[in-house]
Structure 1
Amino acid sequence: MTIKLVAVDIDGTLLTPDKKITPEVKAAVREASQSGVQVVIATGRPVAGVYHLLEELELNKPGHYVITFNGALVQDAATGQELVKDILSYQDYLDIEYYSRLLGVHMHAITKEGIFTANRNIGKYTVHESQLVNMPIFYRTPEEMADKEIIKTMYIDEPEILDAAIAKLPAEFYERFTIVKSTPFYLEILKKSANKGRAIQQLAQELGLTMAQAMAIGDEENDLAMLEVVDHPVVMENGNPKVKKIAKHITKSNQESGVAYALKTWVLND
């Protein structure tokens, strides 16, 4: 069956290691889009960290969609109209923040407006995230967060500190939340119903498409949910070995325009 929907991760997938989109990827995305394929950015980044990429790829026009916050938010890329919005409750935030202090790991929460941390000594990976996604950082105590629409929270720290904290997370956290490790120094915690896979399923339903008509391209553990639900899972050559195990196809690396290779080989030449 012809592929009509392609979900593409950003970091480690769409972008080269130096955070660029190659001319080959731009051309392939444009060709796929012009041929009637719905190419959708599906990322852990917040909306603000995606706008410039949508513009560069010409995916910000009417009829295009974008999946952000690891599937917690699905929007019309042109109008901003929300199709899906799964936010954490204030009690969720309080529990997640409490365990960050208990386990000795830095943490921040993200809304559509910015990055909020209760860490008086702001972690370097909070600063890194702010620069990566072009969002401001706000210091707020837990009591000052009651009125915020928190879309996701993140434990961010040196890999060895983060891994030690992960090992001590209570089992009930995995029952209550979607928990995904997106880099060695990022652990993302979202509402249980939020993940890239569910977001793609909901968008496909909106577009009248099936998972047999869908492809996903990714590289990391936070891409597993979308790779598992589509009939055509594609993993980057530079991808996590655990993620490669479920791939139908392995494409070239992000340094070698792997997204372009996947689109040309398994979508445009189908």
Structure 2
Amino acid sequence: MSIKAIALDIDGTLTNDKKVVTSRTKEALLAAERAGITLILASGRPAQGLRALAHELELDRHHGMLVAYNGSQVRDATSGELLFNQAISVEDARAVLEHLQGFEVIPMLVDADRLYIEDAYRCTIYHKGEPKNIIKYERDACSLRIHEVQSLLDWCITPQNKILTAGTDTYLAEHYEEMAAPFKDTLSCMFTADFYFEFTARGIDKAHALSVALPERGIDPSELVAFGDGQNDIPMLKLAGTGVAMANATDEVKRVADCVTGSNNEDGIAQMLDRLLG
């Protein structure tokens, strides 16, 4: 089997539960890169939130790719060139923000390195029964600067790559269908974690972004190995010649994957690459 590219989800896949890339996994990926394989970071994070990892794994030296905002944007990791972009229209974005005012969620927008919110003190959700400062979590994970505005609805005058909503996991599980209902035919709506529910342009996912960007590099999806653990990784795993689920992936992800490797805490990526690349 010819492998020309490796696509990696971040949280729960590339990074362990301490949010770091272990030395074994890092070395396996750097060795693949040295062998001429293109590394791709594919995440719900904005591009700003991928740059530190891209540098750590040397994607910025080897023209790796950054699939950001769950697939609504793709950039060359070396040049920053925009390879693909499909944002939510202003009209649709404003409709989502207006609709979300009826729910107990915290909406967030990102522009470059800024995280736009309405109230920096309204920042607590509950995850698995424990309080979580979700604004600090998102800021720190993606290296963003917090920018408080009086109204996201009033501020939203340009197309948006995604609209992120955060909420207590049990609340989102009960209300996500109602949150998405008005937009089921016009936007893509999905969980990227049990406390994150996101809106992107219709038809956007990691697989669509890769199906556009890979051929420009002379890479066929059959030559792609993709790793993931969550609902938003399923289209990417289906697209890839080899779709790999982490041991900590949901059962839904494992069912569609071609194979299952160790968990994100067990160097599952390195385990599988040892098998595939020898």
TM-score normalised by structure 1 residue count: 0.93
**Corresponding pairs, count:** 268
- 1:256 match: secondary structure: coil
Unaligned runs of 5+ in 2: 125-133
- 1:102 match: secondary structure: coil
Determine what percentage of the aligned residue pairs are the same residue.
26
Shift of 1:122: 2.9
Q: Counterpart of 1:44?
A: 44
Q: Tell whether 2:187 aligns with 1:182.
A: no
Q: Counterpart of 2:166?
A: 156
Q: Counterpart of 2:88?
A: 88
Q: Counterpart of 2:5?
A: 5
Q: Counterpart of 1:55?
A: 55
Q: Tell whether 2:127 aligns with 1:127.
A: no
- 1:10 match: secondary structure: coil
Q: Which moved more, 1:65-74 or 1:158-167?
A: 158-167
Change (3 A) 1:120 1:64: closer
Shift of 1:249: 0.8
1:107–1:119 contact (8 Å) kept in structure 2:
no
Q: Counterpart of 2:183?
A: 173
Shift of 1:170: 4.9
1:105–1:165 contact (8 Å) kept in structure 2:
no
1:97–1:107 contact (8 Å) kept in structure 2:
yes
Q: Counterpart of 2:251?
A: 241
Instruction: Say which of 148, 155, 158 aligns to 1:139.
Output: 148
Unaligned runs of 5+ in 1: none
Question: What residue identity is the alignment partner of 1:130?
Answer: R
Q: Tell whether 2:266 aligns with 1:231.
A: no
1:117–1:139 contact (8 Å) kept in structure 2:
yes
How many Å separate the matches in 1 of 2:120 and 2:14? 34
Change (3 A) 1:254 1:170: closer
Q: Counterpart of 1:204?
A: 214
How many Å separate the matches in 2 of 1:150 and 1:222? 19
Q: Counterpart of 1:215?
A: 225
Change (3 A) 1:12 1:120: closer
How many Å separate the matches in 2 of 1:171 and 1:199? 24
1:103–1:168 contact (8 Å) kept in structure 2:
no
Task: Please tell me the root mean square deviation across aligned C-alpha atoms, in Å.
Answer: 1.6
Q: Tell whether 2:104 aligns with 1:104.
A: yes
Shift of 1:97: 1.0
2:105–2:165 contact (8 Å) kept in structure 1:
yes
How many Å separate the matches in 2 of 1:23 and 1:142? 41
Shift of 1:143: 4.8
**What CA deviation, in whole Å up to 9, does each residue of 1:161-204 have, x standing for no partner?**
22222132353412111112111100011111321001111121
How many Å separate the matches in 2 of 1:114 and 1:163? 28
